[in-house]
Structure formats: C-alpha cells, structure tokens
C-alpha cells in the first residue's frame, strides 16, 4: 500500500472530506466541479475512488435503496485516517514548494 497521492486523488479526497456524511458519487462530482471548475467523468472518478479504497485511503458503504434511484442504493465514501494524513503530507509539500515564490499576477504564496 502506498501513501503517495496524485493531484486528482487529492482532489477527490478533499471533496469527500468537505462533504462529510453526504459523500457519494454524484455529490463528489458536483463538489469537485463547484470547487475546481473540472467536471470529472464518472469513469475517471469511480476508477479513482476504487484505487483510493484499495490503497486504504477511504472506505465505502452502501446506503439504503431509494425510490428516487429506482430502488438502487447509493455508495457512500469516508476518508480514513491514513487518507487524511496522506492529503496533509501532500499539501505540506506543495506549501513548501510554493513558499517564497512570486506567482504571475503579483500573488505571493
């Protein structure tokens, strides 16, 4: 099991953390789009969710079937402690790399 995360994996984990108990496929995609202006395809997102679960970065559980979904249940996701720690490490690395840089547009990191 590796604790290295790619950019999209970080985005997915952060979206799940933001959503809390309401993190399921459609809500995760909507949160990513709202916060990043990126609309991930369902295939890319579910592949990433499965990979993160295999890495031990998140867990999933099935909710109750709902009539609105034709009796299908939603799959809910939760970030594990190791997932939170991996996101924190990755973000600290980004912050160290950004420290002291003058970015275009005059913004300092």
Q: Domain with 20 in it: what CATH number?
A: 1.10.10.10
Domain encompassing residue 13: 7-98
Q: Is residue 103 part of a domain?
A: no
CB 16 within 8 A of CB 78: yes
Residue 54 maps to a domain: yes
Q: What pLDDT score was predicted for residue 108?
A: 57
What pLDDT sits at residue 59? 97
**Count of domains in the chain?**
1
Which residues of the chain are under the pLDDT cut of 50?
1
Residue 80 covered by a domain: yes
Q: Which residue has the tokens 């996701």?
A: 77
Q: What is the pLDDT, as a whole number, of residue 19?
A: 98
CB atoms near residue 52 (< 10 Å): 23
Q: What pLDDT shows up at residue 8?
A: 95
Q: Is residue 25 part of a domain?
A: yes
DSSP code of 37? Answer: S
Rounded to whole angstroms, the Cα distance separating 90 from 42 reads: 25
Can you give the pLDDT at residue 1?
Answer: 46
- Is position 70 within any domain? yes
Separation of alpha carbons 18 and 84, rounded Å: 12
What residues contact residue 22 under an 8 Å CB cut-off, 6+ apart? none
pLDDT at 2: 57
Q: Are 88 and 94 in contact (CB under 8 A)?
A: no
Query: What pLDDT is stored for residue 72 in this prediction?
Result: 83
Eight-state DSSP code of residue 81: H
User: What is the reported pTM?
Assistant: 0.86
* Residue 74 neighbours by CB under 8 Å, 6+ apart: 24, 25, 62, 63, 66
Task: Please report whether residue 104 resides in a domain.
Answer: no
């Amino acid at each position: 099991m590796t604790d290295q995360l790619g950019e999209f994996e970080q985005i997915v984990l952060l979206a799940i953390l933001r959503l809390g108990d309401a993190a399921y496929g459609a809500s995760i995609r909507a949160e990513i789009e709202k916060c990043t202006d990126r609309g991930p395809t369902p295939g890319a997102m579910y592949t990433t969710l499965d990979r993160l679960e295999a890495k031990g970065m998140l867990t999933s559980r099935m909710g109750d079937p709902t009539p609105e979904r034709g009796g299908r249940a939603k799959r809910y996701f939760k970030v594990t402690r190791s997932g939170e720690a991996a996101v924190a490490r990755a973000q600290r690395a980004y912050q160290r790399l950004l420290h002291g840089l003058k970015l275009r547009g005059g913004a300092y990191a």
